[in-house]
Structure 1
Amino acid sequence: MNRFDYVRAGTVAEAVQAFAAGPDARFIAGGTNLVDLMKYDVERPGRLVDITRLPLAEIEEHDGGLRIGALVTNANVAYDARVRERYPLLANAILAGASAQLRNAASTGGNLLQRTRCYYFYDTATPCNKRIPGSGCPAIQGLNRIHAIFGASESCIATHPSDMCVALAALEAVVRVSGPEGERSIAFSDFHRLPGDTPEVDTTLKPGEIVVSVDLPERGFASNFTYLKLRDRLSYAFALVSVAAGFEFDGETVKTARLALGGVAHKPWRNREAEALLQGKPATRETFQAAADLIVAEAKPQSENGFKVELARRAIVRGLEQAAAGTPQSLSDKRIQ
């Protein structure tokens, strides 16, 4: 691990100032991703700005929804009574990810800012455009079973690892940030980037900006939702495909539909055309299959992950059926319901 300066900030303004004054500075809270990357010599910050003392560890009522401070742990979000009652999709997604120990340490802001990555990113003996821009992407011609089938580029085919973020995408949360130019809000769909020619840049944050909170809207799909996660083992594994789905109904007809996928792209993946297709239709298997077919028609698999296309299609149909029936995927019995 390289040598670095360490600064502990007491306010958001102090954190922003300390970040701007340091060489290759990084904010650190729970450190569940950053510390790993430093140990592997992937990240070499010149300064760590400790933000754990900032007043950002509360969940508060806000404009009919909830405002989750950036330093609220994943566990505290998942077990908060208001989140469980009004946004169970988010609670279930969090509990499907990582381990209890990590959820107790990882922060909300840190979850949003964890690096989109694959095993080549961690291996400093191999090229990686995310580590060293322009060095190449060995995954494209190499081991790519877990990689993206949507939104990839010739520069990077890694997938975003978060479960929380897939649910936040479906809920259409808003990220509030602060930086040298003041505060601003970012729609969740605009917060993470596709790789394009600059895969080393994961988010749309400006230099020196810090995540302050995540704001949840009033509508949370409390009755008709699911988070379905398909993975190689039943715990402590990233998703091969995950589905966050929520419905509102007008009688037997879909009034509002939200759908986001994880494990398939460089960011949580939404298809607005598929959501529009569901609206005004009966909640039938045929309707759900049409939406799934529309989504996977855009898939561009790699040499080893073609199975993800059919896996995604089936997962979408199953997830929509669970959400429509109000029978979300069980967290205690992880067999597909």
Structure 2
Amino acid sequence: MIRFDYARPDDVAEAVRDGAGDHVAYLAGGTNLIDLMKENVARPLEVVDINRLPLARITDRDDGGLRLGALATNADTAYDERVQSRYPLLASAILAGASPQLRNAATNGGNLNQRTRCYYFYDVDTPCNKRVPGQGCGAIGGVNRIHAILGASDQCIATHPSDMCVALAALEAQVQVTGPEGDRTIAFADYHRLPGDEPWRDNNLKQGELVTAIDLPAEDFSTHYSYLKLRDRLSYAFALVSVAVAMRLEGDRIADVRIALGGVAHKPWRRIEAEEAIKNERPSDTVFDTAARALLAGAVGQGDNGFKIGLAHKAIVRALAQAAAGTPQSQTDKRIR
């Protein structure tokens, strides 16, 4: 870990001023940033501790939605009665991730901005375009069991590690940010990036911008939903494949459906055409198979991770069936039923 300056602002405006320079990192829960600094992967010259900022509340919105403060912890969010009753998909996804100790420290804003767990990204003795542009990608042709099957490039095949973000993608949340140029709203689909030719850019935040809140719309997916996470261990492991489904039925037909995947791409993965393909259909494995094929169109294995394509297909079908039946995957009894 290199030497760095430290600032602890008391308000958002001061934080933005402190964060406007080069090589600055915002510090909230620190559950990812501190690890990266210890490993010399992240080397900020200034750390801006934002824990004094008034961004930890969860509040009702006038439009019937909910605003999640960026500094509200993952645990406080998952166990908030409004989240559990109105957005149980989000609560389920959060509880599927990390450990209780980490959820008690990790923040909502930090969860959005956590970095990949790619082995090569963390190992400074191996090539990684995300860590050092132009070095190459050690995962391509290397050990890549956990890596992307969708949306990758010849520069990077890393995946985004978040569970929470997969649910937020399905719920079509909006991210509130502030920065040197003022406030703006980013649709969740536009927040994270695919690697393309700039794999070091995880998201579309501008220099010095700070996430202040996440807004959830007022739509009701509280009955037909599921978050299914498949991993090597039943606890404290990142997803090989995860599926967030939010569904609304009218009679015996699918009136609306959202499907997002985790563990398969550089960002939570959605394809609107896959969802449109099964709207107004009666729930069935055949219909769900259609959605899975559309959602995974173009998926490519990199060797070790080729198994993810078949695994993701089965997971999508199973999660859709769970949602349609109103029997979401339990995060305490993790057997898949």
Structure 1 segments of 4+ aligned residues over 2 angstroms from their partners? none
Q: Which moved more, 1:24-33 or 1:289-298?
A: 289-298
Residue 211 of structure 1 aligns to a residue in which SS? strand
What is the CA-CA distance between 1:198 and the residue it aligns to?
A: 0.4
CA distance in 2, matches of 1:100, 1:181: 37
**Percent identity (aligned):** 64
Whether the 8 Å CA contact 1:160–1:267 is kept in 2: the answer is: yes
- Are residue 114 (structure 1) and residue 117 (structure 2) matched? no
What is the CA-CA distance between 1:116 and the residue it aligns to?
A: 2.5
Residue 37 of structure 1 aligns to a residue in which SS? helix
Residue identity opposite 2:320 in structure 1 = L
CA distance in 2, matches of 1:201, 1:142: 22
Corresponding residue number in structure 1 for 2:92 = 92
Corresponding residue number in structure 2 for 1:55 = 54
Corresponding residue number in structure 1 for 2:23 = 24
Residue identity opposite 1:104 in structure 2 = N
Provide Cα deviations, 1:98-157, integer angstroms capped at 9, x if missing partner: 000000000000000001340100000011001100100010010011100000000000
- Are residue 229 (structure 1) and residue 229 (structure 2) matched? yes
RMSD: 0.7
Residue identity opposite 2:8 in structure 1 = R
Residue identity opposite 1:60 in structure 2 = T
Written as runs of structure 1 = structure 2, the 5 A alignment for 1:35-46 is: 35-46=34-45
- Are residue 301 (structure 1) and residue 301 (structure 2) matched? yes
CA distance in 2, matches of 1:146, 1:115: 14
Structure 1 gap segments, 5+ residues each = none
TM-score (norm 2): 0.99
Residue identity opposite 2:56 in structure 1 = A
What is the CA-CA distance between 1:260 and the residue it aligns to?
A: 0.1
Residue 278 of structure 1 aligns to a residue in which SS? coil
Corresponding residue number in structure 1 for 2:3 = 3
Residue identity opposite 1:251 in structure 2 = G
CA distance in 2, matches of 1:246, 1:23: 40
Whether the 8 Å CA contact 1:171–1:220 is kept in 2: the answer is: no
Corresponding residue number in structure 2 for 1:320 = 320
CA distance in 2, matches of 1:129, 1:39: 20
CA distance in 1, matches of 2:19, 2:183: 16
CA distance in 2, matches of 1:121, 1:24: 18
Whether the 8 Å CA contact 1:249–1:256 is kept in 2: the answer is: yes
Corresponding residue number in structure 2 for 1:240 = 240
Residue identity opposite 2:39 in structure 1 = Y
What is the CA-CA distance between 1:335 and the residue it aligns to?
A: 0.9
Provide Cα deviations, 1:80-100, integer angstroms capped at 9, x if missing partner: 000000000000000000000
Corresponding residue number in structure 2 for 1:65 = 65
Corresponding residue number in structure 1 for 2:173 = 173
Corresponding residue number in structure 1 for 2:150 = 150
TM-score (norm 1): 0.99
Whether the 8 Å CA contact 1:175–1:211 is kept in 2: the answer is: yes
CA distance in 2, matches of 1:305, 1:76: 35
Written as runs of structure 1 = structure 2, the 5 A alignment for 1:218-297 is: 218-297=218-297
What is the CA-CA distance between 1:298 and the residue it aligns to?
A: 1.6
Structure 2 gap segments, 5+ residues each = none
Residue 184 of structure 2 aligns to a residue in which SS? strand
What is the CA-CA distance between 1:23 and the residue it aligns to?
A: 4.4
